[in-house]
Copies of this chain bind each other. A is one copy, B any other.
C-alpha cells in the first residue's frame, strides 16, 4: 500500500475531467447510541461488533483493519490523503477506525458520524460499478447486523441530511478551463442551486486545489438510490459539457494562453527546488490538461495520479521514512517529482 496507488486512481479514460466516482452509505446499528452520544466503552463495543461482522463476510475477506488508537498523526494523515477516511474520523480519541481492502476501492469507517460508513470509489465516471459493489457489501453487513431503520424514514442516521437511503454519490472533477475563463463562478452557483454540494479535493472542510471539485449529492430522503444517481449524473454531465465548451473556446481563441499554462507547469515541476503541496496540485492540473491536449505523450493519467498521491505530506514522510518539517517536505517533494518525471521520460 505504501508504494502503490489505489485502484481508483488507475484511469483507463482518455478524458481527464472525471477523475473518480464515489458512493457511500451511512448505517447505524439498532440498540446503540450514535457515536457522538456514546460513551468510550460503548464506542469500543460497537467498534468490535462491526469489525467482527465485517471479518466474517466472505466477499470482504482480507480487509485491513486500522483502529484509530493504533495510528500516529502521520498514519492518520496518510489515510486521509488516500481518501480512505474523513478528517472527522479521528476527532474521537478511541473507538473509531477504518477497514479497507487491498485495492482501496472499499473502505468502511466505524464510529465516524454514524456507526458505519461504507465507501466505494472507482476510477473515471464508473459510478454504477461503485453502486453495485456498495449494495453487495451493504446486503452482507445488513444480514449480520441489524440496522436502525424506520418504515416511514428509511435508514436512521446521525445527521438528518443522510436520513432515508443514507446514500451519497460524489465525483472528483478536473475543470481547469472553467477556472481559466472565470466561468466557474456561474457553474458553482447553478450547481449548488440544483442541490449539488461542491467541496475541495479532500472533501468536507477542504479548499479547492488543483482545479479539482468534489461534487456530491445532498439530501437522500424520499428518493431511491437509482433516482439519486440518475439525477446526479445528469447534473455532472452538465458541468462536464460546460468545461468542454470552455476548453474548446480556449483552444480556438486562446491557444497560446493554454499552451503557456501547460508548459509552465511542466517547466516548474521539472526544475523547482521547493514545491508546496498546494502549488504542486495546481501544476499537476496543468500537466493533466497537457495530456488531454496531446502535448505530453509519455505520461498518462495514472502516472500523474501517482505523483498527485505521493507528493502529499504524509505520503512523502512515509516515502523518506522520516518526520519532515515543511521546509524539508517542500524540498523533498520537488526532488521526488523531478526524479519521477525523469523516470517517466518527460
Interface residues of A (CB under 8 A from B): 256-257, 259-260, 263-264, 266-274, 327, 331, 334
Q: How far is the CA of A263 from the CA of B272 in the complex (A)?
A: 6
Starting from the known contacts A260-B272, A267-B272, 18 additional A-B residue pairs (CB-CB under 8 Å) come to A256-B273, A256-B274, A256-B327, A256-B331, A259-B273, A260-B273, A260-B274, A260-B334, A263-B271, A263-B273, A264-B268, A264-B272, A264-B273, A266-B271, A267-B268, A267-B270, A267-B271, A268-B268
Between-chain CB contacts (< 8 Å), 20 pairs? A256-B327, A256-B331, A257-B274, A260-B272, A260-B273, A260-B274, A260-B334, A263-B271, A263-B272, A263-B273, A264-B268, A264-B271, A264-B272, A267-B267, A267-B268, A267-B270, A267-B271, A267-B272, A268-B268, A270-B271
Whole-angstrom distance between the alpha carbons of A331 and B260 in the complex?
A: 9
Separation in Å of the A329 CB from the closest CB of chain B?
12
Question: Who on chain B is nearest to A270 by CB?
Answer: B267
* Majority SS at the chain A contact face: helix
In the assembly, how many copies of this chain are there? 2
**How far is it, in angstroms, between the C-alpha of A176 and the C-alpha of B56 when the chains are bound?**
66
- Max chain B CB contacts within 10 Å: which of A256, A259, A271, A334? A271
Q: Which residues of chain B are within 8 angstroms of A272 by Cβ–Cβ distance? A: 260, 263-264, 267
Q: Please list the 7 inter-chain residue pairs (A to B) with the smallest Cβ-Cβ separation, ordered nearest first.
A: A267-B271, A267-B267, A260-B273, A263-B271, A260-B274, A259-B273, A267-B268
Query: In the assembly, what is the distance between CA of A331 and CA of B263, in Å?
Result: 13
Most buried by B among A267, A327, A331: A267
Closest chain B residue, CB of each to CB of A258: B273
Contacting residues, chain B, for A263 (C-beta < 8 A): 271-273
**In the bound complex, what is the Cα–Cα distance between A272 and B267 (angstroms)?**
8
> What residue of chain B has the Cβ atom nearest to residue A268's Cβ?
B267
Closest to A331 in B: B256
In the complex, residue of chain B having the shortest beta-carbon distance to the beta carbon of A338 = B263
Give the distance to chain B from A337, nearest Cβ to Cβ, in Å. 12
Chain B residues, Cβ within 8 Å of A257: 274
Q: A277 → chain B, closest Cβ, in Å?
A: 16
CB distance from A74 to the nearest CB of B (A): 23
List of B residues within 8 angstroms of A264 by Cβ: 268, 271-273
Q: Report how far A268 CA is from B331 CA in the complex, Å.
A: 19
Which chain B residues border A268 with CB–CB below 8 Å? 264, 267-268
CA distance A267 to B271 in the complex (A): 6
Bound-state Cα–Cα, A297 to B153, Å: 73
* Bound CA–CA A266/B272 (angstroms): 9
A270-B269 Cα distance, complex, nearest whole Å: 12
Please indicate the chain B residues that have their CB under 8 angstroms from the CB of A271 in the complex: 263-264, 266-267, 270
Cα–Cα, bound, A260→B330 (Å): 11
| Complex Cα gap A271–B273 (Å) | 17
Residues of B within 8 A of A256 (CB): 273-274, 327, 331
Chain B residues with Cβ below 8 Å from A331 are 256
Complex: how many Å from CA A269 to CA B266?
12
Kindly state the separation between the CA atoms of A264 and B279 in the bound complex, as whole angstroms: 13
Shortest C-beta distance, A218 to chain B (Å), equals 41
CB distance from A120 to the nearest CB of B (A): 39
Complex Cα–Cα for A340 and B256 (A): 20
